């Protein structure tokens, strides 16, 4: 099946590295114009440069997605430049792991701000123009940890579970306007985020993955590419685990 996109524009947050980079490059290669957002200007610029070098259309914008005002300003600028952002991929995320008894307010708040509040800020700014044109795709990158929980990741798990509830609510809110909202919940994927795990933890995780390996960023990008396409029009409010069979 050939996926089609009709010259759409996508915003991918956390596009500088890892999963977001793979999503941005996959959409770019499929002919979608991609706005690459990350915190660090060099990081999102290198993603946009790679898409353009491969023959696609892309632009970069450094935005701290945990900052409500920064997101509102950036979203305004995007709408002025591109009209509507048709496809929104909320992918930027961080971890600040620790047992709950030792978790600092700052570690809790930073993870909630970056992984959950950011999605609210972008959707608030960009969903209305999608609704007006009667077409939009919102794809939020959560985690299997939002479904399963994980000792030492109460902040991250709460943020990702919150993102799931948020997504189902906006799916209901915007369905009448043909704007869909779905969740992709990756399992363990080889990126900078999981590179910090030591051998013992990695071995324990592998035991829980039926396919017996970590995933690649492109495994997530392929699912997002489908959900962003014309062909996914009848799918909304769903959670897709891409996790080697970890959650079933
Ligand atoms: P990563 O390699 O650590 O990359 C994270 C990206 O998010 C970077 O581009 C980073 O920007 C950006 N980012 C972080 N904080 C930001 C902020 N405040 N404002 C703007 N951008 C910010 O992470 P990843 O492994 O690709 O993870 C991507 C998403 O998938 C996250 O939401 C993560 O929770 C989720 N996920 C990952 C896994 C996994 O196994 N890797 C599993 C489940 C879910 P800079 O490049 O500028 O630093």
Per the domain annotation, does 3 fall within a domain? Answer: no
CATH classification at residue 31: 3.40.50.720
- Give a three-class secondary structure readout of 23-58: HHHHHHHCCCEEEEEECCHHHHHHHHHHHHHCCCCE
pLDDT of residue 1: 86
> Does the structure show a pLDDT above 90 at 47?
yes
Per the domain annotation, does 246 fall within a domain? Answer: no
Q: Report the number of distinct structural domains present in the chain.
A: 1
Residues 93-126 pLDDT 10s: 999 999 999 999 999 999 999 999 999 999 999 9
Residues 127-149 pLDDT 10s: 999 999 999 999 999 999 999 99
Per the domain annotation, does 198 fall within a domain? Answer: yes
- Domain enclosing residue 220, as ranges: 9-241
pLDDT of residue 187: 98
Whole-model pTM: value is 0.98
Per the domain annotation, does 4 fall within a domain? Answer: no
Of ligand 1's atoms, which has the minimum distance to the CA of residue 215? 40
Q: Is 156 a catalytic residue?
A: yes
Per the domain annotation, does 2 fall within a domain? Answer: no
pLDDT of residue 215: 98
* Whole-number CA gyration radius for the chain: 17
Ligand 1, pocket-test mutation among 11, 16, 19, most atoms within 8 A of CB: 19
Mean pLDDT of the chain: 97
Say if CB 40 and CB 65 are below 8 A apart: no
């Amino acid at each position: 099946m050939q996926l089609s996109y009709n010259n759409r524009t996508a915003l991918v947050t956390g596009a500088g590295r890892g999963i977001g980079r793979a999503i941005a490059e996959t959409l770019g290669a499929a002919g979608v114009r991609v706005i690459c957002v990350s915190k660090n200007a060099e990081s999102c610029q290198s993603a946009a440069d790679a898409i353009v070098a491969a023959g696609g259309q892309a632009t970069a914008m450094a935005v701290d997605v945990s900052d409500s005002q920064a997101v509102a300003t950036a979203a305004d600028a995007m709408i002025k430049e591109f009209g509507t952002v048709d496809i929104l991929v909320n992918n930027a995320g961080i971890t600040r792991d620790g047992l709950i008894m030792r978790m600092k307010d700052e570690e809790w708040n930073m993870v909630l701000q970056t992984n959950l509040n950011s999605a609210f800020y972008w959707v608030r700014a960009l969903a209305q123009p999608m609704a007006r044109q009667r077409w939009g795709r919102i794809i939020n990158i959560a985690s299997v940890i939002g479904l399963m929980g994980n000792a030492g990741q109460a902040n991250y798990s709460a943020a990702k579970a919150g993102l799931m509830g948020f997504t189902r609510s906006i799916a209901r809110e915007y369905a009448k306007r043909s704007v869909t909202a779905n969740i992709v919940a990756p399992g363990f994927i080889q990126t900078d985020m999981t590179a910090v795990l030591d051998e013992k933890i990695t071995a324990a995780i592998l035991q829980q993955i039926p396919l017996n390996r970590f995933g690649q960023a492109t495994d997530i990008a392929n699912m997002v590419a489908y959900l962003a396409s014309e062909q996914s029009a009848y799918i909304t409010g769903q959670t897709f685990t891409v996790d080697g069979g970890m959650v079933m």
